[in-house]
Structure 1
Amino acid sequence: MRIAILGSGFIARFYATTLHAQRRRDKIFTVYSRDLSNAQRFAGDYQLEHHTSDMDTAINHPDVDVVLIALPNDLHEVAVEKSARAGKHVLCTKPLGRTAAEAKRMLDMVERAGIFAGYLEDLCYTPKFLKSVNAIQNGSIGKVLWTKSREAHSGPHSDWFWDKGKSGGGAIIDLGCHCVEIGRNFIGKQVRPVEVMCWAATQVHPIDAEDQAIGLVRYANGAIGQFEVSWTFRGGMDLRDEVIGTEGSIWLNNFLRTGFEIFSVQQKDTYVAEKAEVNNGWMFPVGDEAHELGYPHMFTDMFDAIEQKREPLETFYDGYIVNAILDAAYESARTKKWEPVLIEDWRGEEFAGQGEALTSYDDEHFLIKEEVLPNKDLKTILKHKLTGMVSQRILKA
């Protein structure tokens, strides 16, 4: 397929590097940038046939099949609107909108136009993440009770991120969109997010938006999705996830420590990894950065889905739900209370069976815990089903 990429900045280059790697058959045909010199440079770097500073020209070019939006947040809606009007398939970077209302308008546009619309949430396509979701779906860790997702670094690359009007917020909208969607996938997208409690503050940077936040998302089945986000973390980019289930747990370290470490006393003008702050001493590069961040799997899913006329793993509807959760997070940070997740168009389960995960030991008892002691005795801790009394039994070795 032939692609018009809208944007020529940091994320656009990640996308282009991925799409033009390893002899892929889906190619970028044209690039749009608000600055013609940037478009020209981008086209030269990736050997593109066409470049322009006019968005309509890029989208409406007859050779373009798919529009790939890699623009600042405040330009997503106009780009989606133009793509829908042109009847072109559209892929949009995260977050879909600055608010749920904005995201819902974009969702409505693409559905009315009948075009394919994919939400480019790359961290839901990393190899470790995909394998983790598969393990959860296969029942390897039982019922998911709690998820934790953390993304922290020293701040984004471009000026518009730091402008609350253009971005829609700070670390919550920028990084929380990743963390929330990771949690939704682990818990189950069919489970309704109910309410959010969030703390946020501006602790370091002279900006109007938050540069640090932590939040809890409560789901209808009782599960909790926790997110931690920061633009104040020093020492690289920290991407970590945890999943706690009734029968097991998962722990992921995606970026900061990958098993690849270099020490150098020389200070050279060289790129180490995204958000790395030093280029000498101990450094922690990433072997294939695009692969580790999920881009190849993401684009393979998107273009396969277009060809197979199916939905991708991440859709505009997912982007809308993420925005609804983040809206509640911002409101909670303001009120210092649990705030409801307001979803105008919920398409999942209305009730997902909230309740305790109880394991029956025998006719009279629930099992609380069973363990082998250092002396090899087997200790069993039980709760009586009728009286609630807790007791223990020891089977001597």
Structure 2
Amino acid sequence: MARIAMLGAGFIGRFYADSLHGLRSRDRITSVYSRTENSAQKFAADYDVPFWTTDMDAAINRKDVDIVCISLPNNLHLPAVLACAKYKKAVMTTKPLGRNAKEGLQMLKAVEKAGIFAGYLEDLCYTPKFLKSLKTIQSGALGKILWARSRETHPGPHSDWFWDKNQSGGGAMLDLACHCVEIARNYIGKDVRPLEVMCWADTQVKPIDAEDHAIGLVRYASGAIGQFEVSWTFRGGLDLRDEVMGSEGTIWINNFLRTGFEMFLSGQGAGYVAEKAESSSGWIFPVGDEIHELGYNAMFTDMFDALDQGREPAETFYDGYVVNAILDAAYKSAQTRRWEPV
């Protein structure tokens, strides 16, 4: 049994809680922290959590906490990780690791110095289709990987803090391309060094300071190209697609928007359909098991198995740091309009 402190009681914290309490059954959230009393109390009531607080340290430094799960805005990842290191608590954090590589490296060094378990919750590297594709690629069936493209687009984030660049650290690129970069990096090979990035980014629709649309190319030492396409301006729901081209084969994946499950409803609609769905009537595209299809169950299984077995999970703080470094180069390239080194 894993006893978990949940930091954050919002949208992603609830997604995590649904998976944590429903997956192995024996894992339980024993404390929850939120910046507001109402959110903390409601989360505790909804998930039968015995202790709630608006004091982050109080949520972490408890005898009934084995591991801390961070589901907070980006600007709070660093102080939360430093608190876990202070109290020698295992930690796993949502993406991105930091708002930039400097923060990511600070967190990586902190957990290494404290000697604590640290997992990077990159759920889209645990989806059923991703895991099957990665296994196929690692078997050599596609030959040499030449190009890996990943796309994530939707109408925009669900929480106000995403729109504040000081809290988020960036716009659609930091929010979404962190997924895409790590997906492509897995397909190309984590042992292959990313060398440089070329990126276009702009604010096309949203009334914000940060970018709402970006496209980037990452060149790797093997000669492979990783490509990301991200947007907060896409209408029609959440679009998650990957494509991999090798010298001996190709993989094409549609993870979410059009998966073969289609439904037409008139009148009042169906209520919640799927994450970022824009309509609950007419032709809609529900997801059979959203938590499973988005990789949460496999992700937490890997995290807890790794914790129990004393090994690293498939996605680590180092991976999160590399992603931050690639995205720092992407942001610089968007300004200089040149290839920028990682």
TM-score by length of 2: 0.99
- The percentage of aligned residue pairs carrying the same residue is 70
Contact 2:23–2:297 (CA<8 Å) still a contact in 1? Answer: no
Shift of 1:27: 1.2
Aligned pairs for 1:304-315 (under 5 A) are 304-315=305-316
Aligned residue for 1:43? 44
User: How does 1:1-397 map onto structure 2 within 5 Å?
Assistant: 1-268=2-269, 270-341=271-342
Three-state SS of the structure 1 residue aligned to 2:4 is strand
Q: Which has the higher contact order (CA 8 A, sep 6+)?
A: 2
CA distance in 1, matches of 2:261, 2:14: 24
Task: Tell whether the 8 Å contact from 2:270 to 2:281 is kept in structure 1 after alignment.
Answer: no
Cα deviation per residue 1:273-331 (whole Å; 9 max; x = unaligned)?
A: 00000010000000100100000000000000001000000000000000000000000
The CA distance in 2 between the partners of 1:287 and 1:266, in whole Å, is 22
Partner of 1:361: none
SS in 2 for 1:252: strand
Tell me the distance in 2 between the aligned counterparts of 1:320 and 1:20: 29
**Which amino acid is the alignment partner of residue 288 of structure 2?**
G
Question: Separation in 2 of the partners of 1:223 and 1:167?
Answer: 30
In structure 1, distance between residues paired with 2:109 and 2:23? 36
Q: Distance in 1 between matches of 2:146 and 2:16?
A: 34
1:61 Cα deviation from its structure 2 partner: 1.2
Query: Which letter does structure 1 place at the counterpart of 2:132?
Result: K
SS at match of 2:15: helix
What is the rounded CA distance, in whole Å, between the counterparts of 1:177 and 1:68 in structure 2? 19
3-state SS of the aligned residue for 2:113? helix
CA displacement at 1:241 relative to structure 2 = 0.0
Structure 1 distance, partners of 2:237, 2:275, is 8
> Can you list the C-alpha shifts for 1:176-217, whole angstroms capped at 9, x where unaligned?
000000000000000000000000000001100000000000
The CA distance in 1 between the partners of 2:293 and 2:16, in whole Å, is 13
1 CA distance for matches of 2:11 and 2:289?
16
Distance (whole Å) between structure 2 residues aligned to residue 101 and residue 225 of structure 1: 23
State the distance in 2 between where 1:301 and 1:24 align: 15
**1:198 alignment partner AA:** C
The residue type paired with residue 203 of structure 1 is Q
| Aligned partners of 2:237 and 2:257 also within 8 Å | yes
Q: Secondary structure at the match of 1:216?
A: strand
Aligned to 1:3, what secondary structure does the other structure show? strand
CA RMSD across the alignment: 0.7
The letter for the 2-side match of 1:50 is F
Per-residue deviation, 1:248 = 0.2
Q: Decide which structure has the larger Cα Rg and report it.
A: 1
Determine the C-alpha separation between the residues in 2 that align with 1:126 and 1:7.
Answer: 23
Q: Which 10-residue stretch deviates more, 284-293 or 261-270?
A: 261-270
Q: 1:269 offset after TM fit, Å?
A: 6.7
Any idea what SS the aligned residue of 1:20 has?
A: helix
Q: Counterpart of 2:193 in structure 1: which amino acid?
A: R
How far does residue 127 in structure 1 lie from its aligned partner after superposition? 0.5
Q: CA separation in 2, counterparts of 1:14 and 1:22?
A: 12
Cα deviation digits, residues 224-272 of structure 1 (max 9, x gap) = 0000000000000000000000000000000001111110111247101
Unaligned residue ranges in structure 1 (runs of 5+): 342-397
Cα drift, residue 23 of structure 1:
4.9
C-alpha deviations, 1:8-34, integer Å up to 9, x for none? 001000000001115522211111000
C-alpha separation in 2, matches of 1:68 and 1:238? 26
Give the Cα–Cα distance (whole angstroms) in 1 for the partners of residues 177 and 251 of structure 2. 20
SS at match of 2:22: coil
Higher helix share: 2
Question: Scaled by the length of structure 1, what TM-score is found?
Answer: 0.85
Unaligned runs of 5+ in 2: none
